[in-house]
Structure 1
């Protein structure tokens, strides 16, 4: 039991009391043992404090402290180690081997692995070992360090504690000191300092040996006197030297110093010296003696001359620099080179504001620049490089990037600032960011196009089945029946749904186009006549349709759709009360790559000749957000709009390999240009792309292989073909179609083949069918554009294309033609 107890003198001590029982002659007694543990507790407290100090020293030490095992490598490290070697944490550090944190060889050429083993052996043997070592950071950067390896025991294991200190700066300082010492030694060999003393009463002059050397006198041949000294002084400086000495005595000065020239006696060489003299006086103030020193400063004079030449060269370099350079003190411009004057628009430095540097800073940037000046003057860190706008003499503003550094001239500190004109760089950076945003926008619209195309394709498959059922219902339900009206309603709804999917397919660039040679002006003129009644009477439609335009290859219905959407959008953008003007123009343009790169289309088109439809309005215009989202499907600013109009325009233009441009700003109106490539080899309307002929009467014969992956469509299509009088074989995919065709190819007269199927698609199936029976008639069915399909089927013969959802009247006409 631990207790506190008082001693005889009243002081408090720590005691430990233990009590036990003992039986003596049948009687039980309690035996207490009281032990003074004051010293023990004091030692325990000291040990605890020592451990705390050790832990604090380990964790907070600026030196890197590591624990390592000669066998296992690094075991632990303090925070300074993690920082020194560039590791993420202690676990990251201990994952490295000592060899991985050292170069292959140490500066003495010995392999690091061998030398490390030797250092650890000495530390284990002697208890500790201190040495220099070259380490490597985790990124491979080498650095010198001092290392103290200390042995310690941890249980039965002998470990080493390594204390490492980065001595990079010490090494640099040592190198600098060594260089300075070498320079001083060389300087001492050249510039010697001599001393002399002139006793006033005896008029006796004493020279040290160095003075004899400086003046080139032989001590055995010359006894120095004041007069003899004056004779050695350069004739042009003699009077000044004599006056300096006697003048100081006459004016009761305690000292003087002077620089002058001497003429060496034997060689006649002219040297420069610096002299300093102190007069020693007695109690009455009378001069007892003059003590002085003379130093040969010829080399210094030569160096000063070279320095002056260097300064002139430096000034020339500054003046000829392509970057603006200014030397300032606080907010005052003391010097500006030619390039800076040009940046600021001044002809001469006198014209530049010399009182305040802020005078040449754009007003909106002056607070930032002034704050930067104050921070530099007070020695605080500052942003570097620093960008702001200057105000030129002509009032224009220009972007500059500056970098400042302190320089010392004489004993005064100044700021040297370089100015880089970054106006061109800013424009290039803005163009880069604009291009980047354009690419991102195009990628976004492209993704939406893929999504829209996929949805439309799947929706078409559903509409196929609905239309097929409607087709059979119309054949079975009499026209006079009450239910026939509901069947016809479903057919009209299917037609509207098909129109919607065609718009979505058009946006994705996969719409079905019927190409023919067109004159764009003629198509636009017809649309304008149709729209006259739909447009508000307050809207003026002004036309400027070019004559004799080059022809384009296009789907007339799709081009009409583009013209109608653009004109209606323009008219709806006008004020309902005041109205406005919509100008519609057509023209021929030659477009360069640079111009076409500004397009809002999702693809690149080649430089060349295009026919342009331009629609310009004086309406409300669009802000940036609206312009960016203009072609997104289902985006609309209209209360009743579906948001597919401009998306459809974009898709149609993409399908025709054209381009589109938009210029608009709030309250500035909008101009949209739609470009279509000039037809190089016009394609006449043929049987491949002509509208379907009216359905022929039934009663025909022949065997049709109908292939579609939709089971419901397969059943409905087979029924429709059988009603036309054909024998029908069916297959749910390409592999099944090949199995049927191999066994019945002699009987099969035509294959109606779906393009998109699992396992084996229509393109692959077509090639296999041709391999079995080259002359077989094949009709390819797809919701994609015909020209896109032809591009995918280069080298393969297709007798006809049919658009999905199936129009069985069109199918009947094609089969009548082939069979």
Structure 2
């Protein structure tokens, strides 16, 4: 009995171990009606139940694995689709970090060389405006937004134009996981649209300037389109109403309407590709009649059916009015030509008589002109003689000055030669004394030679204009009268510009200065002036050289001040003045050198002003 129980317990134990090891198909076979048989049956039921649960669990695990594999494949396909999408698309999480972006996105926004996955959209594009960020926040809250054209200023100063659409995306739980953006860069399209608008504006302006409009009739859809200028030609505001063929015919002048309709419909019936006609239109708002030239061309398909007609309307009113006016003028001109021809025939006879009279007058004038030319030549010769006379007078003055200037140096030379003889007689003659005497004598001889050179230069008239320095001419002129002025106690002060040049005749200019200086000297002698002084100044004023010579000899009487430059006018005693000095001075400055010579009284004396 005890052995049988132990055997049954052992079988139960072994069966439980097998079932516990995972062999759910095992069964414990204990027969009978006792507790061991019931316990083995319970084990077998439990094993069958576990097997069913295991099989169900195994099936569920397999299903889940297949679902996960399918989801993974779907995600890979989704990522592949986004990456290779022909449009710019990007997927973001709730923090606006990139999950994936299409290649087109990377190319459009210039980030092909960057790995932007996981990076913030606002970090990649810091120039994103705040209004876009607000749109992103609304879409993360569930909104769907889009814009057909939006401006995107870039960091480099350029501007892109975008068409975009933003959608939220949901995770498995149905919660919003982030947003998906679809964008298209339409910058080039916007540029082309702008150029197209400008082109249309230029075309409309050109049509307006040329008074040339265009129209197109879609025959298939019975749709007529007018350019703005056609509306204007017909007296309407552009786009005032939808253009129709009936509206066009209504604008045509009643007397021309049938011909215009026949021209168009006839071209359709007869299969012609073009027609052309000139007619009138009546502007409904004002009743004004305008003339137009129309031309049309039909565009056909391969079967020869007309698809649409295109044409132009040219306002030729001004041309027609001009032609009519021209024709009227032509008729009037023909009448006037006929009348004028008759008048010309009469005039020709009169002109012949006048011509003969003119020939006679011409010969008389020729003789008178010859006489006047001879007189002018005599006047020029007289002027030359007067200049020469003035020059000779000045030369006479200078010869006196030279004689005065030579007298003292010659006396010194004589004394020095006598001194050499006395030194020899007294035994004081030496080589050193001889050399010192020769050196002083040569200085005196060179001074005399320079005086002759100055006189020679003054005596030779200039043949051509040349540039000369004013300061040098003033200095040389003063040197020619220096001894005379010193002997008469006349003080001369100069204040001259060092770099002042004149293009003219230097010797003639010097002659003018000498005439004025000598006149001043004579005035001092006449008036018996003490402390006689002459001031010579020069400067540049408004691009002209100015020289003034001022004395304190009491001035010129006001009643004769306007006459002192007249020929042969003099206030000096007979034999002391020729009256040509100042006259020739004015001629030299104003006629020969294009300048101006004037005189006026100043405090205590007179001032002569030369401007060249």
Q: TM-score, normalised by structure 2?
A: 0.29
Rg bigger for which structure?
2
> Higher helix share goes to which structure?
2
Q: TM-score, normalised by structure 1?
A: 0.23
> Higher strand share goes to which structure?
1
